[in-house]
Amino acid sequence: MHLTDLPPVTLHLGAHRTATSSLQRQLARRIDLSRQNSVAVWTPNITRGGLLAGLMGDPGRQDARRDAMANRAAGGVSMRRQGLSDAGVTRLVISDENMLGGLRENVLLGRLYPTAGARLRRLASAVPGIDHIALALRSPDTWWASTFAFLMTRGFAPPDRTTLDAILRSRRGWRAVIEDLNAALPRARISVWLHEEMAPQPDAVCDLLTGVTATSAGQAPKLNASPGVVALRQRLREEGCMTEIDGVGDSYAPFTPDERAALRDAYGEDLAWLRGGADGLATLVTRRSQDTVPRDRKGSGYGRPKRPQGALGWAG
């Protein structure tokens, strides 16, 4: 079996808390259309069923059993890809945000996807032929707030001051994540888009990932959305946690106004880098003009009002 026999791979890495579950549901709804156009799609219902066992998880945890599982996974993935090739598939899209890292790891280390590069290198060793990486970005003030809120629904306590200070000190943003991904797979092109802009337009993102343009597959469900601050307070009280949490409107807001502004400024620097060409490492996909700044549906705007949207295009 030769590598050229296998369909090339697009990796959709999320990120978490960027409407990824809703996008994956939309990809599943369009699965027949994708197959008609020689594109196969693997979402978490496939990737988390044992197919990638040993390839995901903490890349620093090495043991013989896990390595043996990774070797078996590599063989299983290769066989499935060969079957796709025999069926005429010319592109495989794999969408799973856990390939990028874990939310708990981010919180415990106080950094944005600190092991993304190592994780991708481990995955690529078993899944050769990755030539496209796709990633959604979100302003860190609302991304972290959404992450904390989601974890609170899974039994985690609200972040303490030490955790918040660690995040603010690290200053690791999306540019660093993109640079890590490029270092891991320097020959793969990287496409990024903004959650603030594209979350309400999952069909446009499906078009980008699959290369198949379609009429709407129906309104995408809003899955795993962060609960409002009132609901979070009630949940915490029911679980015996008396910690008070702050909000802006009904949105949970763990950072102070000055801290939110600093995080948004850092995001603005990352966006300016992307719009300036990202040193050739990544391409920003947008429907906006380059000088328009995004607005999060749960946060504040970052600049001038939005202009009328045009066709999906490339900035930079």
Q: Which tokens go with 119?
A: 């994780």
The answer on pLDDT for 286 being more than 60 is yes
Residue with tokens 């390939």: 99
Mean pLDDT confidence for 178-185 = 98
The reported pLDDT for the residue numbered 208 is 95
Confidence of residue 1 (pLDDT cuts 50, 70, 90): very low
Q: What is the dihedral sign for C-alpha 220, 224, 229, 232?
A: positive
Mean pLDDT confidence for 143-154 = 97
The predicted-structure confidence for 54-111, as pLDDT tens digits, reads as follows 998 888 777 899 889 999 999 999 999 999 999 999 999 999 999 999 999 999 999 9
Query: Between the CA of residue 178 and those of 36, 38, 213, what are the distances in Å?
Result: 32, 29, 27
Which among 70, 135, 94, 76 has a CA at the least distance from the CA of 7? 94
Mean pLDDT confidence for 295-309 = 41
Mean pLDDT confidence for 30-38 = 95
Confirm if 158 and 148 have CB atoms less than 8 A apart: yes
Which among 280, 57, 316 has a CA at the least distance from the CA of 182? 280
The answer on pLDDT for 172 being more than 50 is yes
- Which residues lie closer than 8 Å to 184 by C-beta, 6 or more apart? 116, 117, 118, 120, 121, 124
The predicted-structure confidence for 208-231, as pLDDT tens digits, reads as follows 999 999 876 566 778 888 999 999
The answer on pLDDT for 300 being more than 60 is no
The answer on pLDDT for 130 being more than 70 is yes
Range with the lowest mean pLDDT among 153-167, 179-193, 225-239, 296-310? 296-310
Backbone angles phi, psi at 248, to 5 degrees: -120, 110
The predicted-structure confidence for 245-283, as pLDDT tens digits, reads as follows 999 999 999 999 999 999 999 999 999 999 999 999 999
Q: For the chain, list the domains and their CATH numbers.
A: 3-140+172-222+268-315 (3.40.50)
Mean pLDDT confidence for 156-181 = 97
How high does pLDDT run on average in the chain?
Answer: 89
The answer on pLDDT for 315 being more than 80 is no
Confirm if 245 and 252 have CB atoms less than 8 A apart: yes
Which among 101, 109, 111, 104 has a CA at the least distance from the CA of 156? 104
The reported pLDDT for the residue numbered 302 is 36
The reported pLDDT for the residue numbered 217 is 57
207: β partners: none
The reported pLDDT for the residue numbered 43 is 97
Q: Which tokens go with 244?
A: 């008070």
d(CA 196, CA 206): 16
Which among 12, 3, 219, 216 has a CA at the least distance from the CA of 97? 12
